[in-house]
Structure 1
Amino acid sequence: MKKILLLALSLCLVSTGLFGQSLKSPDEFLGYELGTRFTPHHKVVAYYEYVAAQLSNVKTERYGQTNELRPLMVAYLSSQENMDNWEQIRTDNLKRTHLIDGDPVGPKKGIVWLSYNVHGNEANSTETSMKTLYELARPDNSEAKAWLENTVVVMDPCINPDGRDRYANWINQVIGTTPNPSLDAKEHQEPWPGGRPNHYLFDLNRDWAWQKQIESQQRMKLYNTIMPHVHVDFHEQGFNSPYYFAPAAEPIHEQVTDWQREFQDMIGRNHAKYFDENSWLFFTKESFDILYPSYGDSYPMYNGAIGMTYEQGGHSMGGVAVETEEGDTLTLADRIAHHHTTGMSTVEMAAKNSERMVDEFATYFDNAVNNPKAKYKTYVIRGTNHPDKLKQLEQFLKTHQIAYGTGSSKKGFSAFDFKTGEDGSVSIENGDILISANQPKAVLVQAFFEPKTYASINDTYDITAWSVPYMLGLEAYATEMEIPVSEGEFLQHERQVEVSGTPAAYLAKWETLQDAKFLGDLLEADIKLRFAVEEFTVAGRTYAPGTLIITRKGNRHMGSKFDEIVKGKAAELGRDLYATPTTFVDGGKDFGSNNVPFMHKPKIAVLRGDGVSSLAFGEFWYFMEQELGYPITMIDTDAIGRTDMSNYNVLVLPSGSYGRAFNESQMNDLKSWIRGGGKVLAFERAIGSFAGKDGFQLKRKTSDDKKSDEEKEADALTPYADRGDKYEDFRLPGAIFKLKVDNTHPMGFGYEDTYFTIKNNSTPYEYLPNGWNVGIIESAESHVAGVAGEKVKENLGKSVVFGVENMGGGAVIYFADNPLFRAFWENGKMFVANALFMVGQ
Structure 2
Amino acid sequence: MAVKCLFKRLLPGILLGWSLWSSQVVQSQPAFPLPLALPESVSYDSAIPKPEEVIGHVVGTRHTAPHQIVAYFQAVAAASDRVLVEEHGRTYEGRPLIHAIVSAPENLMRLEEIRRANLRLSDDPASVSDAELARMPAVAYLGYSIHGNEASGSEASLLTLYYLAAARGPEIDSLLAQAVLIIDPMFNPDGRDRFVDWANRNRGRVPVADPQDREHLEPWPGGRTNHYWFDLNRDWLTGQHPESQGRLRLFHHWRPQLLTDHHEMGSESTFFFMPGVPSRTHPLTPARNQELTAAIARYHAEALNRIGSLYYSEEGYDDFYYGKGSTYPDANGAVGILFEQASSRALLRETRDGVLSYAFTIRNQFATSLSTLRALRALRLELLRYQRDFYREAEAIARRLPVKAYLIALEPGRTRAQMLAEVLRRHRIRVYTLARDVTVNGKTFRAGQAYVVPTQQPQVRMLQALMERRTTFEDSLFYDVSAWTLPLAYDVVWAEWRRDPSELLGTPVDSVRLDGGELVGGHSDYAYLMTWDRFYAPAALYRLQQAGVRARVLTEAVTLPVAGSRRTFPPGTVLIPVVQRDGKGPASDSLQALLRALADTYHVRFFAVQTGLTEQGPDLGTRDYGQVLEQPRVALLTGEGTRAYNAGEVWHLLSERMQMPVSLLDVDNVVWADLSRYNRLVLAGGSYSALPAEKIKNWVRQGGVLIALTDAVDWVVAQGLVSLKVRPFNLDSLLRPYPYGQLERARGAQVIGGAILEARLDTTHPLAFGLGATLPVFRTEETFYEPSETPGANVATYTEQPLRSGYLSAARQKQAPGAAAVVAQRYGRGRIILIMDNPNFRAFWVGSSRLFLNAICFGDAF
Shared fold per TM-score greater than 0.5: yes
Aligned equivalent of 1:461: 479
Residue 782 of structure 1 aligns to a residue whose secondary structure is: strand
Aligned equivalent of 1:6: none
Contact 2:415-2:603 within 8 A present in 1 as well: no
Task: Pick the aligned partner of 1:701 from 727, 751, 756.
Answer: 727
* Pair 1:80-2:105 in alignment: yes
Q: State the alpha-carbon separation in 2 of the partners of residues 22 and 563 from structure 1.
A: 65
Residue 221 of structure 2 aligns to a residue whose secondary structure is: coil
Aligned equivalent of 1:813: 833
Residue 290 of structure 1 aligns to a residue whose secondary structure is: coil
Task: Pick the aligned partner of 1:387 from 396, 414, 430.
Answer: 414
* Pair 1:640-2:670 in alignment: yes
Identify unmatched segments of 5+ residues in structure 2: 1-42
AA aligned opposite 1:516 = P
AA aligned opposite 1:226 = W
Deviation per residue, 1:358-409 (Å, 9 max, x gap): 1221111122245447453322224544322332233222222211235668
AA aligned opposite 1:697 = S
Aligned equivalent of 1:488: 507
Contact 1:252-1:455 within 8 A present in 2 as well: no
Task: Pick the aligned partner of 1:742 from 736, 739, 762.
Answer: 762
Which has the higher mean CA deviation after the structures are superposed, 473-482 or 801-810?
Answer: 473-482
Q: Mark the CA change 1:695 to 1:96 in structure 2 (over 3 Å): closer, same or farther.
A: closer
Contact 1:772-1:805 within 8 A present in 2 as well: yes
Kindly report which structure 2 residues correspond to 1:398-413, keeping only aligned pairs within 5 A, or say none: 398-405=425-432
Task: Pick the aligned partner of 1:554 from 569, 577, 580.
Answer: 580
Deviation per residue, 1:606-646 (Å, 9 max, x gap): 11111111111111111011111111222222211111111
Residue 731 of structure 1 aligns to a residue whose secondary structure is: coil
Q: State the alpha-carbon separation in 2 of the partners of residues 181 and 141 from structure 1.
A: 40
Aligned equivalent of 1:518: 540
Aligned equivalent of 2:227: 199
* Pair 1:242-2:270 in alignment: yes
Which has the higher mean CA deviation after the structures are superposed, 671-680 or 175-184?
Answer: 175-184
Q: State the alpha-carbon separation in 2 of the partners of residues 56 and 236 from structure 1.
A: 33
Deviation per residue, 1:494-553 (Å, 9 max, x gap): 655332453311011012322222111111222111110111122232110010110123
Deviation per residue, 1:331-372 (Å, 9 max, x gap): 111111111111111111111121232122111112224544
Residue 338 of structure 1 aligns to a residue whose secondary structure is: helix
Q: State the alpha-carbon separation in 1 of the partners of residues 461 and 799 from structure 2.
A: 34
Aligned equivalent of 2:610: 581
Contact 1:505-1:581 within 8 A present in 2 as well: yes
* Pair 1:430-2:447 in alignment: yes
Aligned equivalent of 1:720: 740
AA aligned opposite 2:496 = A
Contact 1:404-1:487 within 8 A present in 2 as well: no
Task: Pick the aligned partner of 1:829 from 827, 849, 852.
Answer: 849
Deviation per residue, 1:732-781 (Å, 9 max, x gap): 110111111111100000111111111111111121211511111144x2
Q: State the alpha-carbon separation in 2 of the partners of residues 152 and 360 from structure 1.
A: 17
Aligned equivalent of 2:11: none
Which has the higher mean CA deviation after the structures are superposed, 182-191 or 302-311?
Answer: 182-191
Aligned equivalent of 1:265: 294
Q: Mark the CA change 1:42 to 1:409 in structure 2 (over 3 Å): closer, same or farther.
A: closer
AA aligned opposite 1:563 = Q
* Pair 1:152-2:166 in alignment: no
* Pair 1:752-2:780 in alignment: no
Deviation per residue, 1:290-348 (Å, 9 max, x gap): 1212110111111111111110010xx6311112123x111111111111111111111
Q: State the alpha-carbon separation in 2 of the partners of residues 199 and 536 from structure 1.
A: 44
Q: Mark the CA change 1:634 to 1:457 in structure 2 (over 3 Å): closer, same or farther.
A: same
Q: Mark the CA change 1:442 to 1:541 in structure 2 (over 3 Å): closer, same or farther.
A: same
AA aligned opposite 2:694 = N
1:696: Cα distance to partner?
Answer: 2.6
Contact 1:110-1:152 within 8 A present in 2 as well: yes
Q: Mark the CA change 1:752 to 1:407 in structure 2 (over 3 Å): closer, same or farther.
A: closer
AA aligned opposite 2:266 = G
Deviation per residue, 1:19-75 (Å, 9 max, x gap): 844323223443322111101111111111111111111111122221222111000
Contact 2:595-2:606 within 8 A present in 1 as well: no
Q: State the alpha-carbon separation in 1 of the partners of residues 475 and 613 from structure 2.
A: 61
Identify unmatched segments of 5+ residues in structure 1: 1-17, 416-423
Q: Mark the CA change 1:434 to 1:498 in structure 2 (over 3 Å): closer, same or farther.
A: closer
Q: State the alpha-carbon separation in 2 of the partners of residues 411 and 507 from structure 1.
A: 31
Contact 2:529-2:608 within 8 A present in 1 as well: yes
Aligned equivalent of 2:14: none
**Count of matched residue pairs:** 800
Aligned equivalent of 1:594: 623
Contact 2:802-2:816 within 8 A present in 1 as well: no
Aligned equivalent of 1:768: 788
Q: Mark the CA change 1:503 to 1:427 in structure 2 (over 3 Å): closer, same or farther.
A: closer
Q: State the alpha-carbon separation in 2 of the partners of residues 612 and 551 from structure 1.
A: 41
Aligned equivalent of 1:164: 192
1:427: Cα distance to partner?
Answer: 8.5
Residue 381 of structure 2 aligns to a residue whose secondary structure is: helix
Q: State the alpha-carbon separation in 2 of the partners of residues 87 and 453 from structure 1.
A: 44
Q: Mark the CA change 1:729 to 1:341 in structure 2 (over 3 Å): closer, same or farther.
A: closer
Q: State the alpha-carbon separation in 2 of the partners of residues 425 and 652 from structure 1.
A: 39
Aligned equivalent of 2:13: none
* Pair 1:536-2:553 in alignment: no
Aligned equivalent of 1:287: 316
Contact 2:147-2:263 within 8 A present in 1 as well: yes
Kindly report which structure 2 residues correspond to 1:23-102, keeping only aligned pairs within 5 A, or say none: 23-98=48-123
Contact 2:612-2:619 within 8 A present in 1 as well: yes
Q: State the alpha-carbon separation in 1 of the partners of residues 214 and 600 from structure 2.
A: 54
AA aligned opposite 2:149 = N
Q: State the alpha-carbon separation in 2 of the partners of residues 187 and 820 from structure 1.
A: 33
1:454: Cα distance to partner?
Answer: 5.5
